[in-house]
Chains A and B, each alone.
Chain A
């Protein structure tokens, strides 16, 4: 290995570790997201909902019965507990309001739903069915009204590793980190080199072009590995998340994903001369994938035609396959298709990027 190649790699390591902002975004930030979301979803506290009560309490019927079973609070409202510890408790705060003020409170988002007494034996529920919090309150009230009259049942909470939200989140977040590491670490820094005329200056020496490109790739691969490793170690230690399936499959996915994003970064950086334009381009590539590729929430609720496209986005391929190895225990065989597709994406974009690359 030539000395200039080693120096080039070393320079990029130094640049990385000397920039506190980079350390924050690539190492601390992903861990912070993982711990925040993990904490938020692994120990869900009881839910409080304020419900408007207009026209008073009906004399007859199970709704009136539900309210009578509750406790009166300081403000003259009624507090009713529904659900159980196992299924999660929903605590409903009924607040006496006039029909007019109920609408105002809804507009202000203070209540999501109000109950209007129509006659002595009938009530109506007023809420937007698209509002899931309102829907939840409605279902909670219904379950409270039926109470013991429904069939006896129990709820089994899902707390086994692999079935929690955090289990869904971590593998995707790790690959999201890989994407960002490459897009910014290679794409942005190449554009910066060009803007500062450093590419031009280095080319006016006997430096070999392939050594330069290779050094950028190798340095970034190592840094991305460190970043992903830290997140994995953290998740393993705190949430017990690790690949259930083949470690080799994980490594293969990491490497082919890295190659795909190296190619994409090189293609983005091939011609752009200003970093502010580069920022726009990189965001235009990474933002849609961040939202669509099922990192934070499943993409299967998008319209079917969109899903058929989303499935083949590089980040989706990478995140889905990695998640399968982590939570479903997938092996090498199952990762063959995504690995091949990522490799192909990398080949096409890398060769295209090299061809279009402007050194001056």
Chain B
């Protein structure tokens, strides 16, 4: 399959912060890729370098086999993008906004009508952009990105700050694009978004790729899909269970009352755990067996949540 994006040793530093550290990756045609990471992980910087808005300090970026230098007019026509929080001109209507951006691509009104329908803003056609809700404004930003029927779509946090219903609306539009063979890169710090939409998840932290692959790959390579969380009335040291049959890792809070185990065999592990707790004499306050999430994985690798600042 053809590589739509090739990143080779791409680095970018702002003042004394290394936003992206010699990062390499390939993204294939038709892939939906999520750049998942907390705020400050370098997602926006990376995406804006791919978009040709920022220049890397070193390394190479090729889109459709071409670098940005000297190919800007060609590449601009092939990509669509939305920036983190774009505002449009307040007293210009939804339709006029689409029409304006369409004119930059030399696209006619038919496509504007199509896009308007796709982003389901037909009844807001004559509303000023200032009067749109957050979800509607994000849909308009997405519509502007889709005007030129881009082969590559880059969305920077398309659903940040939206309520679940509005987020779902955006997801529905994006899922429809999957059938057309569009390549998508989106940045997000919502693991559900990455899990729901994307074939490949690239977990980023502090300008580096921590891990990447499908959801299943990630969880399988970096532990199991299941976990047990136990809360006790007294402090008990259970660290020794890590590596025992059925157990992978143990993550205990400092008070040693709350422990989280990544397990491969939940029924077996629960039995062993109950025996050990009984021996210690402590009482169980709660016991939960859950499927592990990307957030759990992220905590295990970095010590903090996806929703925290990096």
A206 and B104 contacting across the interface, CB-CB below 8 Å:
yes
| Residue in B54, B73, B91, B103 whose beta carbon sits within 8 Å of that of A7 in the complex | B103
Is A149 on the interface with B (CB-CB < 8 A)?
no
Which one of A14-22, A50-58, A166-174, A345-353 contacts B?
A: A14-22
The reply on B19 being an interface residue by CB < 8 A is: no
What separation, in Å, do the CA atoms of A201 and B101 have in the docked complex?
Answer: 10
Name the A residues within 8 Å of B53 (CB-CB). Answer: 200, 203-204, 360
Distance, CA A18 to CA B104, complexed state (A)? 23
By the criterion CB–CB under 8 Å, are B89 and A11 in contact? Answer: yes
Determine the chain B residues whose CB is within 8 A of the CB of A18 once the complex forms. Answer: 91, 128
Indicate whether A8 reaches chain B with its CB closer than 8 angstroms.
yes
B72-109 CB mask vs A (1 if < 8 Å, else 0) is 01001100010101111111100010011101111000
CA distance A197 to B51 in the complex (A): 15
Report the Cα distance A279→B99, complex, angstroms.
31
Is the Cβ of A3 less than 8 Å from the Cβ of B91?
Answer: no
Taking a contact as CB atoms closer than 8 A, the residue among B76, B90, B100 that contacts A206 in the complex is: B76
Please, how many angstroms separate the alpha-carbon atoms of A207 and B76 in the complex? 9
Chain B residues whose C-beta falls within 8 Å of the C-beta of A200 in the assembled complex: 53, 83
Question: Separation in Å of the A110 CB from the closest CB of chain B?
Answer: 51
Contact with B along A1-38 (1 / 0, CB 8 A): 01110111001001100110000000000000000000
The minimal Cβ–Cβ distance linking B57 to chain A, given in whole angstroms, is: 16
Check if A251 is an interface residue, CB within 8 A of chain B: no
B87 close to A15 (CB less than 8 A): no
| A198 at the B interface (CB under 8 A) | yes
Q: Does residue A164 face the partner (Cβ distance < 8 Å to B)?
A: no
User: What's the Cα separation between A360 and B53 when bound, in Å?
Assistant: 8
B-contact bits for A187-209, CB 8 A (1 contact / 0 none): 00000000011101111111100
Please give, as numbers and ranges, the residues of chain A lying within 8 Å of B51 by CB-CB distance.
Answer: 204
Query: What residues of chain B lie closer than 8 Å to A8, measured between beta carbons?
Result: 100
| Cα separation A7 to B109 with both chains bound (whole Å) | 13
| Residue pair B77, A206 in contact (C-beta under 8 Å) | yes
Task: Please judge, given known A-B contacts A11-B96, A204-B53, whether A198 and B86 are in contact too, CB under 8 Å.
Answer: yes
- B105-A206 in contact (CB<8A): yes
Q: Number of contacts between A and B (CB, 8 Å)?
A: 65
How many whole Å from B103's CB to the nearest CB in chain A? Answer: 4
Cα–Cα, bound, A203→B81 (Å): 11
Given A4-B104, A11-B100, A206-B77: A196 and B92 interface contact (C-beta under 8 Å): no
A201, B103: Cβ atoms under 8 Å? no
Q: Are A196 and B103 in contact (CB under 8 A)?
A: no
Partner of A14, one of B73, B91, B106: B91
Contact present for A198 and B104 (CB under 8 Å):
no
Which of A2, A197, A205 gathers most chain B CB within 10 Å?
Answer: A205
Given A15-B91, A206-B105, A197:B85 Cβ within 8 A:
yes
Cross-chain contact A198 with B106 (CB below 8 angstroms) = no
Q: For the complex, give the distance between the alpha carbons of A15 and B103 in Å.
A: 18
Q: A3-B103, A360-B53 are in contact. Are A198 and B89 (CB under 8 A)?
A: yes
Contact of A7 with B86 in the complex, beta carbons under 8 Å? no
- Closest chain A CB from B168 CB (angstroms): 25
B171 CB to nearest A CB, Å: 22
Complex contacts, B83 vs chain A, CB 8 Å: 197, 200-201, 204
Partner of A205, one of B54, B99, B101: B101
A196 and B86 within 8 A (CB)? yes
- Residue among A4, A15, A201 with most chain B CB within 10 A: A201
**What's the Cα separation between A345 and B92 when bound, in Å?**
34
Nearest-neighbor residue (CB-CB) of A8 within chain B: B100
Task: Scan residues 32-89 of chain B and give those whose CB is less than 8 A from a CB of chain A.
Answer: 51-54, 73, 76-77, 81, 83, 85-89
Residues in chain B near residue A205, CB distance under 8 A: 76, 101, 104-105, 148
Distance of A360 Cα from B45 Cα, bound (Å): 13
Nearest to B100 among chain A residues (CB) is A7
Quote the shortest CB–CB distance from B129 to chain A (angstroms): 10
> Cα distance A4–B85 when bound, in Å?
24
- Please determine whether A15 and B89 come into contact, CB atoms closer than 8 angstroms: yes
Contact A201 B86 (CB under 8 A): yes
Point out the residues of chain A lying under 8 angstroms from B81, CB to CB: 204
Q: What is the bound-complex CA distance between A350 and B160, given in angstroms?
A: 39
Q: In whole Å, how far is A209's beta carbon from the nearest beta carbon of chain B?
A: 11
Q: Which residue of B lies closest to A12 (CB)?
A: B89
Q: Which residues of A, 178-228, contact B by the 8 Å Cβ criterion? A: 196-198, 200-207
In the complex, A19→B92 CA distance in Å?
11
Residues of B within 8 A of A207 (CB): 104
Knowing A7-B99, A206-B73, the reply to whether A197 touches B86 (Cβ < 8 A) is yes
Min CB distance B273 to A, Å, is 52
Name the residue on A nearest B144 (C-beta): A201
Q: B104 to A202, Cβ gap below 8 A?
A: yes
- A-side contacts of B73, CB under 8 Å: 206
- Shortest 7 CB-CB contacts between residues of A and residues of B: A196-B87, A4-B103, A18-B91, A207-B104, A205-B104, A7-B103, A206-B76
Sample 20 A-B pairs with CB under 8 A, ordered by A number: A3-B103, A4-B103, A7-B99, A7-B103, A11-B92, A14-B91, A14-B96, A15-B90, A196-B87, A198-B89, A201-B83, A203-B53, A204-B53, A204-B76, A204-B81, A205-B148, A206-B73, A206-B77, A360-B53, A360-B54
Q: Taking beta carbons and an 8 Å cutoff, which residues of B are in contact with A?
A: 51-54, 73, 76-77, 81, 83, 85-92, 96, 99-101, 103-106, 128, 144, 148
A11-B89, A201-B86, A205-B105 are known; give 20 further A-B pairs, CB within 8 A: A3-B103, A4-B100, A4-B104, A6-B103, A7-B100, A11-B96, A14-B91, A19-B91, A198-B86, A198-B88, A198-B89, A202-B101, A202-B104, A204-B51, A205-B76, A205-B101, A205-B148, A206-B77, A206-B105, A360-B54
